[in-house]
Amino acid sequence: MFIRIKDNGKGMSSEDLEKVGTLFYTTKKSGTGLGLSICYEIIKQHNGRIDIQSNPGKGTSFTIILPCIKDDEFQEAMVSV
């Protein structure tokens, strides 16, 4: 499954892109640096990944890629919870 989130904001520099997802890294005065770190961890726990493309001055695109499971695998997972 693919989920793409795009914006037309200020974008990110290559230096910021390298640090995205690092615990407590933020470029905002009031940010905690936890949001994307938590997202990365949740997606990783589900055997997925996040791809980020950004152009300074043009915006950023986050693509979340998660594996799909069959209905019987879903039912089995729900029973074991």
> pTM value?
0.72
CA-closest candidate to residue 12, choices 70, 55, 44: 55
Domains of the chain with bracketed CATH? 2-80 (3.30.565.10)
3, β-bridge pairs: 64
pLDDT in tens, 37-71: 999 999 999 999 999 999 999 999 999 999 987 66
Indicate the length of the chain as a whole number.
81
Q: Which residue has the tokens 């995205």?
A: 20
Cα 5 versus chain centre, distance: 9
What distance in Å separates the CA atoms of residue 17 and residue 12, rounded to the nearest whole number?
6
Q: What is the DSSP letter of 65?
A: E
The pLDDT tens digits of the residues spanning 6-19 come to 999 999 998 988 88
Whether the CB-CB separation of 4 and 14 falls below 8 Å is answered with no
